[in-house]
Copies of this chain bind each other. A is one copy, B any other.
Amino acid sequence: MSEIPYKIYLSENEIPTAWYNVRADMKNKPAPLLNPGTGEPLKAEDLYPIFCEELSKQEMNNDDQWIDIPGEIVDFYKMYRPSPLVRAYCLEKELDTPAHIYYKFEGNNTSGSHKLNSAIAQAYYAKKQGLKGVTTETGAGQWGTALSMATAYFGLDCQVYMVKVSYEQKPFRREVMRTYGATVTPSPSMSTNVGRKINEEFPGTNGSLGCAISEAVEAATSQEGYRYVLGSVLSQVLLHQSVIGLETKAALDKYGIKADTIIGCAGGGSNLGGLISPFVGQMLRGEADYDIIAVEPASCPSLTRGSYVYDFCDTGRVCPLAKMYTLGSNFMPAPNHAGGLRYHGMSSIVSQLYDDKLIRATSVKQTDVFAAAEKFARVEGILPAPESSHAIKVAIDEALKCKETGEAKNIVFGLTGTGYFDLVAYQKYNDGVMDDYIPTDEEIAKSLAQCPKI
Contact = CB atoms under 8 A, between A and B. Distances in A.
A152 B175 CA distance: 31
B7 A78 contact: yes
B381 A179 contact: no
A176 B381 contact: no
A108 B110 contact: no
Contacts of A179: 374, 377-378, 383, 426, 429-430
Contacts of A7: 12, 78-79
Given A110-B377, A377-B179, A430-B179, A420 B423 contact: no
A109 interface: yes
Interface string A167-195: 00001100110111100000000000000
B379 A153 contact: yes
A24 interface: no
Nearest to A87: B78
Contact of A176 (B78, B181, B426): B426
Interface string A378-402: 1111110000000000000000000
Nearest to A383: B110
A380 B149 CA distance: 9
Contacts of A421: 420
A426 to B, nearest CB: 5
Contacts of A152: 377-379
A422 to B, nearest CB: 9
A5 interface: yes
Interface string A146-163: 000100110000000000
